[in-house]
Structures are given as structure tokens and as C-alpha cells.
């Protein structure tokens, strides 16, 4: 079952890349008591993710925060080292990377997809959501190959 507006975020382990190495973070703790603009990509360093999705959130992070977002976060089914390297290469300090290396978060949300045909295995669907104190208040899931409703621009319109 796919997570919906009004649902609570499932409590699973994610990993945040830090200067001191990977740091385990429980999703329940991460989203508690604040408003988070979360976007998910199928893979770091992949074409649409690197050319459009991450750059849009880097560009609009301050606008999102001006509209009441406390933190902008990105998740992907990659390890924390890849997510940290991607943030260094194409991201910014305004984006918190959350590695979902085993796809546990994507599966718990009902937003995982199989990309075996591309040699990528289980991945996350492309989506964005606004999570307020652990509860989904907006969710935008893309269809296969699409990039529209999960963009930073679309999310700004929802705030």
C-alpha cells in the first residue's frame, strides 16, 4: 500500500552522510517536530536526477525555507558514501542527503520500483512530499519516466 496524505511516515533506518562518516538516523526521529520537504530519486548521478531534480531543489531551497520548510532532504536507494559524493558534486549544504541503501524506506512507503532491466535492482520511485511533524501533508508521485510533479517548483506552489 502506498503512503497517502495524512499518513504517518514509517519508522525505519536511513543513513546520513557526514564529515565523520555515515550516521544512522531513524526516520521517525528525523521528521519529528518540523516541516521537511523530501524528494526521492531513483539514483544519485543518474541523468534526470543530476540534471533536473537535485539542481531544482538546490536552487529553490531558500524559497522553500521562506515558506516554512525547516529542512530540505533527498533520499535515494544508494549508500551514504554515494549520496555524500553526489551532494558534494551537485548539491549544497542546504540539502540533507538520506541514504536508503537497502530500499527499506522506499518499500515501507510503498514507493519502491524494480529497475532490473537497467541493472539497478530495487530503487525508489521519483516523488516529493511535504512531511509536517512526521505526517505527510502533500505527496507527488511521478509516473514512469516523468519529471513534473516532484519538482521544487511544483512543491513551492503547494506551500
In 3D space, the residue among 123, 131, 111 whose CA is nearest the CA of residue 69 turns out to be 131
Q: Which of 128, 148, 153 is nearest to 60 (CA)?
A: 153
Active-site residue identified among 49, 64, 99, 109: 49
The CA-based angle 71-42-4, given to 5 degrees, is 60
Cell 543518474, residue?
46
**119-131 per-residue burial string, b: 16 or more CB within 10 A, e: under 16:** eeeebbbbbbbbb
Residue 36: count of CB within 10 angstroms of its CB:
22
Q: Is 49 a catalytic residue?
A: yes
Tell me whether strands 35-41 and 122-124 are parallel, antiparallel or unpaired: unpaired
Positions annotated as catalytic residues are: 49
Amino acid at each position: 500500500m502506498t503512503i497517502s496524505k495524512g499518513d504517518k511516515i514509517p519508522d525505519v533506518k536511513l543513513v546520513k552522510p557526514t564529515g565523520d562518516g555515515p550516521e544512522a538516523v531513524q526516520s521517525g526521529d528525523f521528521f519529528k517536530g518540523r516541516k521537511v520537504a523530501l524528494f526521492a530519486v531513483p539514483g544519485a548521478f543518474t541523468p534526470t536526477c543530476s540534471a533536473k531534480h537535485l539542481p531544482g531543489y538546490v536552487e529553490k531551497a531558500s524559497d522553500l525555507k521562506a515558506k516554512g520548510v525547516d529542512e530540505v532532504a533527498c533520499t535515494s536507494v544508494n549508500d551514504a558514501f554515494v549520496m555524500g559524493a553526489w551532494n558534494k558534486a551537485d548539491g549544497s549544504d542546504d540539502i540533507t542527503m538520506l541514504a536508503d541503501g537497502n530500499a527499506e524506506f522506499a518499500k515501507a512507503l510503498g514507493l519502491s520500483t524494480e529497475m532490473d532491466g537497467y541493472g539497478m535492482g530495487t530503487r525508489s520511485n521519483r516523488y516529493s512530499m511535504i512531511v509536517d511533524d512526521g505526517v505527510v501533508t502533500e505527496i507527488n508521485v511521478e509516473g514512469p519516466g516523468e519529471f513534473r510533479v516532484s519538482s521544487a517548483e511544483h512543491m513551492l506552489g503547494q506551500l
